[in-house]
């Protein structure tokens, strides 16, 4: 990791990415070895309706700790290779190869027909960016969203990284999005309503004059990639579902420098800010325990890519 370089006046003033991100060329879909266990949707692309319990069994919790650890390790590996000139397709290759090397299946692959093994969302792309031939440029920010399936469960995590000489507004956005996630995690207690997550995140975003994307939310996770629990990052007192002990879920706030209104590309996946201003996201998979929310998407040593997200990479 390199230290952030001194910024130009133009870089400090930037808030809209010019030129805007445009789709590049897609490489062929990567193959998963036959011996790796696959989630039920891997062949058809259709996960079907959610039927799993929101509460995990002791065996499932043990499996989710392993899945979370693998996801954290894969994201750290990708973080160590990202930089100016690296294409998002190369990030996909790294994530894919690391995932299968650990005996896991890359959960996004063919989920509802998604063609790649990771989501890479650059600058004004809110989420679900499809890796392609576009190289990362000096001054970009990029979210890498890794999910793995192993031992019958999923682990899901993401972080946003600074590429080269990033303008001050974008650095502030990335830093405060990471902080919003940490504050939300710290506020949770057994049985508290899921609305507490949105209350904390929205309050922090408003304090720092950032927008909160509403169209995309966190979710329950376990034997299913997305279970019925919906985790909004904005406050709505009607979201009363209690976070009971044994519940596993994600928090993944997407904050914006401008309007949080979203638009969708023709690929039906890539969501962007309608005003073209930048957005950042961080995510952990969590387990509600007796002492509060436990981060599952960390390594055995308690490390994760969030800790290095604000170190500029050249």
Q: Is 19 exposed, middle or buried (0-12, 13-18, 19+ CB in 10 A)?
A: exposed
pLDDT at position 314, please? 78
Residue 160 belongs to what domain range? 51-308
pLDDT, residue 257, reads 98
CATH code where residue 160 lies: 3.90.230.10
Residue length, the chain?
Answer: 314
Supply 138's token pair. 């000096």
> What mean pLDDT is reported for the chain?
95
> What pLDDT is recorded for position 267?
97
Residue 39 lies in a domain: no
Residue 122 lies in a domain: yes
Instruction: For residue 314, tell me if it sits in a domain.
Output: no
Given this model, what pLDDT does residue 14 score? 46
pLDDT for the residue numbered 3: 38
Is 36 within the bounds of a domain?
no
List, for residues 174-207, the tens digit of each pLDDT value: 999 999 999 999 999 999 999 999 999 999 999 9
Q: How confident is the model at residue 11 (pLDDT cuts 50, 70, 90)?
A: very low
- Does the residue 14 lie in any domain? no
For residue 267, with 0-12 CB atoms within 10 Å meaning exposed, 13-18 middle and 19 or more buried, which class applies?
A: middle
The answer as to whether 118 is a domain residue is yes
Helix, strand or coil, per DSSP, at residue 250: strand
pTM above 0.85, yes or no: yes
Residues 6+ apart with CB under 8 A from 141: 122, 123, 160, 161, 162, 163, 166, 170, 173, 174, 278, 280
pLDDT at 309: 97
Is 62 inside a domain boundary? yes
Please tell me what DSSP assigns to residue 17.
Answer: -
pLDDT above 80 for 255? yes
Predicted confidence at residue 17, as pLDDT, reads: 76
Q: Each residue of 108-133: pLDDT tens digit?
A: 999 999 999 999 999 999 999 999 99
pLDDT digits (tens, 9 = 90+) for 293-311: 999 999 999 999 999 999 9
Contact 74, 304 (CB under 8 A): no
Report the alpha-carbon distance of residue 162 to residue 139 in Å, rounded.
Answer: 7
Strand partners, 293: 288
- Higher pLDDT: 8 or 183? It is 183
User: What whole-number percentage of the chain has pLDDT above 90?
Assistant: 93
Q: Does residue 1 sit within a domain?
A: no
Tell me whether residue 185 is exposed, middle or buried, using C-beta atoms within 10 angstroms of its C-beta: 0 to 12, 13 to 18, 19 or more.
middle
Residue 48 has pLDDT above 50, yes or no: yes
pLDDT, tens only, 49-72: 999 999 999 999 999 999 999 999
Nearest to 77 by CA among 89, 66, 65, 92: 92
Q: Is 199 helix (H, G, I), strand (E, B) or coil?
A: helix
Rounded to 10°, the helix 195-207/168-187 angle is 150
Say how many domains are in the chain: 1
**Interior angle at CA 268, CA 140 and CA 181, nearest 5:** 50
Q: pLDDT, tens digit, for every residue of 13-36?
A: 446 878 999 999 999 999 999 999
């Amino acid at each position: 990791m390199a230290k952030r370089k001194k910024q130009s006046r133009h870089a400090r003033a930037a808030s809209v990415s010019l030129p805007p991100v445009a789709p590049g060329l897609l490489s062929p879909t990567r193959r998963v070895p036959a011996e790796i266990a696959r989630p039920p949707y891997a062949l058809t692309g259709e996960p079907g309706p959610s039927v799993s319990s929101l509460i995990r069994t002791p065996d499932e919790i043990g499996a989710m700790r392993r899945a979370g650890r693998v996801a954290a390790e894969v994201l750290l590996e990708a973080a160590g290779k990202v930089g100016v000139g690296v294409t998002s397709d190369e990030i996909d290759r790294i994530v894919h190869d690391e995932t299968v090397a650990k005996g896991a299946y890359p959960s996004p692959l063919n989920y509802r027909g998604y063609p790649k093994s990771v989501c890479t969302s650059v600058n004004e792309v809110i989420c679900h960016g499809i890796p392609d031939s576009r190289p990362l440029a000096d001054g970009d920010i990029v979210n890498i969203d890794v999910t793995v399936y192993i031992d019958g469960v999923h682990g899901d995590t993401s972080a946003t990284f600074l590429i080269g000489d990033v303008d001050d507004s974008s650095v502030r956005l990335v830093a405060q999005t990471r902080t919003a996630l940490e504050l939300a995690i710290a506020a949770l207690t057994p049985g508290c309503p899921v609305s507490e997550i949105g209350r904390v995140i929205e309050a922090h975003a408003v304090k720092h004059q950032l927008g909160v994307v509403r169209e995309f939310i966190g979710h329950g996770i376990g034997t299913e990639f997305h279970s019925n629990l919906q985790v909004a990052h904005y406050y709505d007192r009607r979201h009363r579902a209690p976070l009971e002990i044994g519940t596993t879920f994600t928090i993944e706030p997407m904050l914006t420098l401008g309007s949080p209104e979203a638009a969708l590309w023709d690929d039906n996946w890539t969501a962007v800010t309608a005003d073209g201003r930048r957005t950042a996201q961080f995510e952990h998979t969590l387990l509600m325990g007796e002492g509060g929310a436990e981060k599952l998407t960390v390594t055995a040593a308690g490390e994760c890519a969030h800790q290095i997200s604000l170190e500029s990479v050249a």
